[in-house]
């Protein structure tokens, strides 16, 4: 697989993907498709398989059967390490290296990829997320707030200009105001970068705000994939209908501004 020559966004597909853990069917015949440059949110209750599906796209999870493609190429064709270097990943905890300064954390993947000027790439990414290197580059992760750390985690995932970014509940562990700020930063980023995004969230309002469409997962299966409007106006089943009724009853702003 040619890992460096894809400055643009990559389309993603999962086709009939299955993954078991003992008796648990974490993924039970899952198929999704995300066009290049689009964002898909995976939503659903805890344990429904969201994280397992997300991690199939950087081979942190290997399916038992089915096919995963990134940019039209089966992920099994290249090495898992090369795939991960060109696939941005933001885990819930941020995953920054605690003993490395911010600039070095963000420059890690550009350095591993042998990009010409890793620190400039890192500085550009930090600027994009509103964390200018002049102020924050020399700090350590513990010298930042939780929201700032998540911005840096986003910058780190973007610094090598990946065609794909995978985000696992990236804004879950911060207060509501910080969460709203992070959502705005992410929405703006998406207008500026050619990147395809797969985003796990249990918050339907966040999914509607940040993604072009969403896939509702339940017990390892996709109940329905569509835009927020489609899922609200024509749910395929009771489960999808009740999920949105509950969210709307809690008066979440489900439609994008």
Residue 180 · residue 208 · CB < 8 Å? no
In this complex, which beta carbon is closest to ligand ADP, that of residue 25 or of residue 139?
25
Secondary structure, 3-state, the chain: CCCCCCCCCCCEEEEEEEEEECCEEEEEEEEEEECCCCEEEEEECCCCCHHHHHHHCCCCCCCCEEEEEECCEEHHHCCHHHHHHCEEEECCCCCCCCCCCHHHHHHHHHHHCCCCCHHHHHHHHHHHCCCCHHHHCCCCHHHCCHHHHHHHHHHHHHCCCCCEEEEECCCCCCCHHHHHHHHHHHHHHHHHCCCEEEEECCCHHHHHHHCCEEEEEECCEEEEEECHHHHHHCCCCHHHHHHHHHHHHCCCCCCCC
Smallest distance, Mg ion to C-beta of residue 51, A: 3
51 binds ligand ADP (CB under 6 A): yes
Within 169-188, the residues that bind ligand ADP by CB under 6 A are: none
Smallest distance, Mg ion to C-beta of residue 70, A: 20
Q: Which does 49 bind (CB under 5 to 8 A by kind): Mg ion, ligand ADP, none?
A: ligand ADP
48 binds Mg ion (CB under 5 A): no
Smallest distance, ligand ADP to C-beta of residue 139, A: 31
Residue 203 · residue 246 · CB < 8 Å? no
Smallest distance, ligand ADP to C-beta of residue 53, A: 7
Smallest distance, Mg ion to C-beta of residue 200, A: 6
51 binds Mg ion (CB under 5 A): yes
47 binds ligand ADP (CB under 6 A): yes
Q: Which does 91 bind (CB under 5 to 8 A by kind): Mg ion, ligand ADP, none?
A: none
Within 67-126, the residues that bind ligand ADP by CB under 6 A are: none
**Residue in 12, 34, 38, 49 binding ligand ADP, rule: CB under 6 A:** 49
In this complex, which beta carbon is closest to ligand ADP, that of residue 58 or of residue 105?
58
Q: Which does 105 bind (CB under 5 to 8 A by kind): Mg ion, ligand ADP, none?
A: none
Question: In this structure, what token pair is assigned to residue 120?
Answer: 């400039």
The interface region with ligand ADP, picked from 45-53, 142-150, 152-160, 207-215 by CB under 6 A, is: 45-53
User: How far apart are the C-alpha atoms of 17 and 8, rounded to whole Å?
Assistant: 26
**Residue in 1, 24, 36, 180 binding ligand ADP, rule: CB under 6 A:** 24
Residue 196 · residue 9 · CB < 8 Å? yes
What does the binding site for ligand ADP look like in residue numbers (CB under 6 A)? 21, 24, 26, 44, 46-52
Q: Which residues bind Mg ion (CB under 5 A)?
A: 50-51
């Amino acid at each position: 697989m040619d890992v460096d020559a894809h400055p643009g966004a990559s389309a993603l597909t999962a086709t009939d993907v299955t993954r078991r853990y003992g008796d648990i069917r974490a993924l039970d015949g899952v198929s999704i498709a995300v066009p290049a440059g689009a964002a898909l949110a995976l939503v659903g209750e805890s344990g429904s398989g969201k994280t397992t599906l997300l991690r199939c796209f950087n081979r942190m999870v290997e399916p038992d059967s089915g096919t995963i493609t990134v940019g039209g190429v089966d992920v099994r064709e290249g090495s898992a390490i090369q795939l991960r270097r060109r696939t941005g990943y933001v885990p819930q905890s941020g995953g920054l290296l605690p003993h490395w300064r911010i600039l070095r954390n963000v420059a890690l993947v550009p350095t591993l990829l042998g990009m010409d000027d890793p620190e400039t790439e890192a500085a550009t990414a930090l600027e994009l997320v509103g964390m200018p290197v002049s102020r924050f580059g020399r700090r350590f992760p513990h010298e930042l707030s939780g929201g700032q750390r998540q911005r840096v985690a986003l910058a780190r995932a973007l610094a090598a200009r990946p065609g794909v970014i995978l985000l696992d509940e990236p804004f879950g562990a911060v207060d509501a105001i910080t969460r709203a700020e992070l959502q705005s930063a992410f929405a703006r980023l998406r207008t500026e970068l050619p990147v395809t995004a797969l985003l796990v969230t249990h918050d339907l309002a966040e999914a509607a705000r940040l993604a072009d469409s969403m896939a509702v997962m339940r017990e390892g299966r996709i109940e329905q994939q569509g835009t927020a409007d489609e899922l609200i106006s024509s749910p395929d089943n009771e489960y999808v209908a009740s999920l949105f009724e509950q969210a709307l009853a809690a008066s979440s702003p489900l439609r994008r501004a």
